[in-house]
Amino acid sequence: MTSLSTPAIVLRAINYGESDRVVTLIGRTTGRVSALARGARKSQKRFGGGLDLCSVGDAGLRERAGAELLTLERFDLHESHGSFATDIARMAHAAYVAELVSKLCAPRQVELEVYDWLLAFLGALDRHGASAERLRVFELGLLARLGFGPMLETCAICGGAQLAAGGDDEAAYRWDPDRGGAVCSACGKRGRPIRAVVRRALARLASSPVDAPAFDPLPADVNRGGRDAIFEIIKQHISGPLLSLDFIAKMGGHV
């Protein structure tokens, strides 16, 4: 048996039996792990705030040889993001990013930059409220940190950027998630058209800090176009639906 201690964020917690919970965490030094928290619904002492979604704290874990499920022995809460419980838009965004991280990160693969990106996003979401632009920044930054970031300003096949200088030429690039993002028209006719205004907005957001107090608002159609393009990339790397998307889709203009 080995004991581990790591800063961690709760990505998922489901009740198990009479008083236990099974949690999925991203640990800063462990990567994504699942663990059984015995007595989590009763012990305030060992589990502080009760392991709510996106809570941040220090996790004390114990692993047993051959067992996939670790044991969570304690969770010392640092930050519970209290605003999430009273604002459905914040909660929807938190649930979505937690599910994204959970599904995109491989188990036990340390992803320091992903951990810090998620931590920064959650703090900003708590402070500033839900914003579609911030969500796009988070998605793009998450994909980039996992090596899945889409090409936006150069062709994913030939690397050519000369067409980007062509100004408003809507036909300069197509969107081909199979090939990693934008593909120049000289490289092929696969993929689908993507509006230049959408591609440029994504390129701008891809280099934005996730914890900015505010963002230049995107027109609704540009946000939708960007959201759809990003989601086509995400779908390349996950299996099955994102359960939180139904919830978030109901949030209308906030997504």
Residues at the site binding Zn ion, with contacts judged by CB under 5 A: 155, 157-158, 160, 184, 187
Residue among 160 and 217 whose Cβ is closer to Zn ion:
160
Shortest spacing between CB 163 and Zn ion, in angstroms: 8
Shortest spacing between CB 177 and Zn ion, in angstroms: 15
- Residue 115 makes CB contacts below 8 A (sequence gap 6+) with 7, 9, 26, 27, 28
Shortest spacing between CB 185 and Zn ion, in angstroms: 8
**Nearest to residue 49, comparing CAs of 85, 2, 97?**
85
Residue among 94 and 184 whose Cβ is closer to Zn ion:
184
Shortest spacing between CB 173 and Zn ion, in angstroms: 9
d(CA 191, CA 175): 5
Residue among 142 and 155 whose Cβ is closer to Zn ion:
155
Residue among 117 and 175 whose Cβ is closer to Zn ion:
175
Residue 94: phi, psi to the nearest 5?
-65, -45
Residue among 161 and 249 whose Cβ is closer to Zn ion:
161
d(CA 175, CA 155): 10
d(CA 97, CA 105): 12
Residue among 64 and 192 whose Cβ is closer to Zn ion:
192
Shortest spacing between CB 211 and Zn ion, in angstroms: 34
Shortest spacing between CB 181 and Zn ion, in angstroms: 11
d(CA 182, CA 157): 9
d(CA 143, CA 235): 11
- Residue 212 makes CB contacts below 8 A (sequence gap 6+) with 124, 134, 137
Question: How many CA within 13 A on the CB side of residue 217?
Answer: 7
